[in-house]
Amino acid sequence: MPKQWFIEYNVPPHFVWAVGCLALPLLMNSQTLAAQTSQPQALTAAQSELVVVVRHAEKGTDDPADPSLSTAGVKRAEALADALVDAGVGAIVTTHLKRTQATAAPLATKLGIKPVVLVVKRGETAAHIADVVAAVNAARTTKKGTVLVVGHSNTLPLIVKALSGVTVSNICDSQHADLFVLSIVNPRSIDSPTAKLIKLKYGDADPPFAAECK
């Protein structure tokens, strides 16, 4: 298991977080992280390799099998693009489902990136996680820059675990605002990197969780 550090920080609603060249000090020092909240800015690229992992934005009710984004989801997708437009994103990984592709679309359009679209099949979660890790490592090997991964509530914790070794809480159905920033600080080792992870919030705040989800 790789070495890892995990810092969780809840950025207030409507805040867009700045990591930039301060990413490594912030990841190492939660007090410094808290001190930087006075000025909302866009996320900017760090010197280390960054992987950003988010769940898809809020989904609509148009198609139970493969829904598009709701109005709130479209707004969140735009917020994600605003947050990451200066983060040095050079690769985007989504699933084949509409809601993950639509979540990444505003950023992909702004940056002129064609996302890597992975087909996820029912009952083949482990294989999908392996595909995500392979896609991220391929982007890192070719020095694409920051990698954005857009997943689902049931895959996001597994993706974070696979990439960082850090165990994060399960994602509730109403939970869409989490943004995980993983800093790969040992880029020479693709298979066993040293990782630092912070959990942030972006866009509108999530509604209160249902009792069974706490």
- How far is C-alpha 113 from the chain's CA centre? 16
- Cβ proximity of 163 and 154 under 8 Å: no
Task: Decide: 55 and 156 in contact? Cβ < 8 Å.
Answer: yes
Question: Could you tell me which residues come within 8 angstroms of residue 157 by beta carbon, excluding any fewer than 6 positions away?
Answer: 167, 168, 169, 170, 171
Residue type at 181 in one-letter notation = V
Least confident of 33-37, 77-81, 147-151, 204-208: 33-37
Who wins on pLDDT, 83 or 26?
83
Per-residue model confidence (pLDDT) at position 108: 98
Confidence (pLDDT) at 76: 98
pLDDT at residue 133 is higher than 50: yes
Higher pLDDT, 132 or 27: 132
How far, in Å, CA of 73 to CA of 59, rounded? 6
Count of residues for the chain? 214
In this predicted structure, what is the pLDDT of residue 185? 66
Contact 93, 115 (CB under 8 A): yes
| Average pLDDT, rounded, for the chain | 79
Chain centroid to Cα 49, Å, comes to 14
Instruction: Kindly report each contact of residues 162-167 with a partner whose C-beta sits within 8 Å and lies 24 or more positions away, as own/partner.
Output: 162/129, 162/130, 162/132, 162/133, 163/51, 163/53, 163/133, 163/136, 163/195, 164/2, 164/4, 164/6, 164/195, 164/197, 165/1, 165/2, 165/3, 165/4, 165/195, 166/4, 166/6, 166/195, 166/197
Per-residue pLDDT at 189: 52
Q: What is the mean pLDDT of residues 150-154?
A: 97
CA–CA gap between residue 131 and residue 163 (Å, rounded): 12
Alpha-helix runs per DSSP H in the chain: 23-28, 30-35, 71-84, 98-111, 125-141, 156-164
For the question of whether the overall pTM of this predicted structure is more than 0.85, the answer is no
C-beta of residue 83 within 8 angstroms of C-beta of residue 17: yes
Spell out the residues 6+ positions from residue 188 whose beta carbon is closer than 8 angstroms to its own: none
Q: What share of the chain is helix, strand, coil (3-state, %, to 5)?
A: 35, 20, 45
pLDDT of 42 higher than 60 = no
Q: Quick one: pLDDT at residue 20?
A: 41
- Of the pLDDT bands very low, low, confident and very high (cuts 50, 70, 90), residue 191 is low
Average pLDDT over residues 140-165: 93
Q: What percent of the chain has pLDDT over 70?
A: 71
